[in-house]
Amino acid sequence: PNPAQNKVEVQFSREAMPKSLAIYDTTGKLLNKQFFMEGTDTAIVDVSFFNNGVYFLSFQTNRGTIIKRIIKN
């Protein structure tokens, strides 16, 4: 994963549109949850308020769950 400082942008295909996003730390603690409007194909996630470290973005889509690991610098 590429390091992020303020924002992370995730593009989705038309077949896997995001419905919601949950952000977890490495202990599995839920830090934030947000929902997306139908038809959204890009998620911009603000990580500026997180401490430096590794986080997991768990996207619920119409095709299942997609998990992405990010590093906040």
**Which tens digit of pLDDT belongs to each residue from 15-71?**
888 899 999 999 999 999 999 888 888 888 899 999 999 999 999 998 899 999 999
> For residues 28 and 63, what is the distance between their CA atoms, to the nearest angstrom?
23
**pLDDT of the residue at 2:** 66
> In terms of pTM, does the model score above 0.95?
no
**pLDDT of the residue at 27:** 97
* CA-CA-CA-CA dihedral for 26, 46, 66, 55, to nearest 10: -10
- Which conformational region is residue 59 in: left (phi greater than 0), alpha (psi within -120 to 50 degrees), or beta? beta
